[in-house]
A = this chain, B = another copy of it.
Amino acid sequence: MPVNSFDDYPMSWKPKLTKSNKPIYQALAYQLESDIKSGALLPGTMLPPQRELADYLDLNLSTISRAFKLCEQKGLLSASIGRGTFVSSDARSNSILLNVLNDTPSEGFIEMGAILPTLEEGDMITSFMQTILKEPGSYQYLNYSSPMGSPFQQEAANHWLQKGHCFVSKQQILFSNGSQNALCCILASLFQTGDKILTTSLVYSGIKTVATMLGIQLVALPLKNGRFTIEQVQTICKTENIKGLYLIPDFHNPTTVTMPLSLRKEIAAFAISNHLLILEDAINTLLKTDAAILPSIQSLAPENTIYIMSLSKTISPGLRMALIASPQAYIKKIAVAIYNNTISVSPLMVECAARLIQSGLAEQIRCHRRLEIQKRNELADSLLAGFISPCEAECNLRYLQLPDYFTGTSFELCARQAGVQVYAAERFAVGNCSVPKAVRIAITSPASTNECNEGLIKLRSLLINPHDFTYL
């Protein structure tokens, strides 16, 4: 074999290592990162095998490995044994979903990207807060507090958790500053840099950004029409040294799919026998009617599941509150993480949430919200008929699979031009999955039913007359 045989190998990436004072592995990782960010290496590209690169650059295999590892931890690459290393699908897309961090939108722009709540119920809550503040001694809610809450608060939280079919003792409940904060604290306390968590190949992007920040790697579970099988989970876990699973069983974000009971049972059994930790995100569970709610995975594998129930989508995001129900074994660690993170949650907000639940007002708000969502879903079904995937009437999201001549990203750009924000599937992509041509539509975000109607009409005309827009 001639020495220069690698010249013939069709290498997708030929880095040039100029001499620098940096160590080789860092210089190589840096160049890889630049080439991905500049677009020289596109999402999905397979990199040359580590051995080929080592040969080509006349370096040791492990040096290449180490450089790749750096980029992998930044979420730029995903690799698997025997298959190769690929540039991540979302390496070039923006995963931060709240526009507040980006430009402020202009007048008349319709937000259907970020999930905002319908706000009609807000006044109920503000007046409720006033009642609490009026009481003598209400200043005590301005002190520090325990993430465990008071017995009354635990009682109320437990009541609410049970609506989601989550059954724990009071000592297993913690309060956090919303469900993103819950995820952040759980990841920081129960996982380490380099650990791997399995999740669906399209997933709530908040888990992606926080995992990346903490150096925790997400591994993608391929989806077929928003669904996956237990066999897929088993195969990946067998080979990838997976520490945990992140799942959204009800109204999955962004695909809207609800996980069937059979799969919940299979996952629970598998987690128990393989000592896996499941993070069950019940963010949308209580949007469903009580009759429609299935047993939670937590109820099927109580020692292996941490159940997170946000109050943002069902009561109000203004409370900045989520409930965490965890096996006793992890409570202390998570509580310490909450302390490290914020010392304590706002006792005023905890008390307010507890009383909203206890008084029945929370339940009332939940029903209100459901009705509004049903109304908007009817609009979406009729206006986008022929395009939009069907989903349950209570779902706050819609998943729009696009005609072939669009990609999620191109459609998002066109919609933006037309004055409507939606989010492309690319934003939700994990690892090296094939990204479906789709966008997510948040129907609750427009301030009024009317504005929602308007937004949907704009999207429809885009689907019907794509040639009117330039971003194709």
A interface list, Cβ under 8 A from B: 96, 98, 100-101, 114, 116-117, 119, 122-123, 125-127, 129-130, 133-134, 138-148, 177-178, 180-181, 184, 188-189, 192-193, 206, 209-210, 213-215, 316-320, 335-337, 339-349
Contact A339 B96 (CB under 8 A): yes
Contact B139 A126 (CB under 8 A): yes
What's the Cα separation between A140 and B119 when bound, in Å? 8
Partner of A346, one of B116, B122, B214, B318: B318
Min distance, Cβ A252 to any Cβ of chain B, angstroms:
19
Contact A318 B348 (CB under 8 A): yes
Contact B341 A320 (CB under 8 A): no
What number of copies of this chain does the assembly contain? 2
Q: List 6 A-B residue pairs with CB atoms under 8 Å apart, sorted by A's residue number.
A: A96-B339, A117-B143, A119-B143, A123-B138, A177-B342, A213-B340
Partner of A210, one of B126, B140, B317, B340: B340
Contact A178 B342 (CB under 8 A): yes
Chain B residue numbers with a CB within 8 Å of A119 are: 139-140, 142-143
What's the Cα separation between A235 and B336 when bound, in Å? 34
Contact B342 A98 (CB under 8 A): no
Contact B180 A343 (CB under 8 A): yes
What's the Cα separation between A204 and B100 when bound, in Å? 33
Pick from A125, A177, A209, A316 the residue with the most CB of B within 10 Å: A177
Closest to A119 in B: B139
Closest to A115 in B: B144
Contact A133 B129 (CB under 8 A): yes
Contact B139 A123 (CB under 8 A): yes
Chain B residue numbers with a CB within 8 Å of A139 are: 119, 122-123, 125-126, 318
Beyond A127-B133, A318-B346, A318-B347, is A144–B100 a contact (Cβ under 8 Å)? yes
What's the Cα separation between A320 and B96 when bound, in Å? 24
Min distance, Cβ A233 to any Cβ of chain B, angstroms:
25
Chain B residue numbers with a CB within 8 Å of A189 are: 213
Closest to A148 in B: B100
Partner of A339, one of B101, B144, B146: B101
Beyond A116-B144, A142-B119, is A180–B96 a contact (Cβ under 8 Å)? no
Contact B100 A344 (CB under 8 A): yes
**Cβ-closest 5 pairs across A and B:** A122-B139, A142-B318, A100-B146, A210-B340, A181-B342
Min distance, Cβ A325 to any Cβ of chain B, angstroms:
18
Chain B residue numbers with a CB within 8 Å of A148 are: 100
Partner of A340, one of B114, B134, B184, B346: B184
Beyond A146-B100, A336-B96, is A133–B126 a contact (Cβ under 8 Å)? yes
Beyond A340-B180, A342-B320, A344-B100, is A188–B206 a contact (Cβ under 8 Å)? no
Min distance, Cβ A265 to any Cβ of chain B, angstroms:
31
What's the Cα separation between A181 and B337 when bound, in Å? 11
Contact A341 B181 (CB under 8 A): yes
Closest to A181 in B: B342
Min distance, Cβ A346 to any Cβ of chain B, angstroms:
5
Chain B residue numbers with a CB within 8 Å of A344 are: 98, 100, 320
Chain B residue numbers with a CB within 8 Å of A317 are: 142-144
Chain B residue numbers with a CB within 8 Å of A206 are: 340, 343
Min distance, Cβ A147 to any Cβ of chain B, angstroms:
8
Partner of A143, one of B101, B116, B337: B116
What's the Cα separation between A215 and B210 when bound, in Å? 16
Closest to A212 in B: B340
Min distance, Cβ A74 to any Cβ of chain B, angstroms:
10
Contact A98 B336 (CB under 8 A): no
Contact A339 B125 (CB under 8 A): no
Contact A130 B134 (CB under 8 A): yes
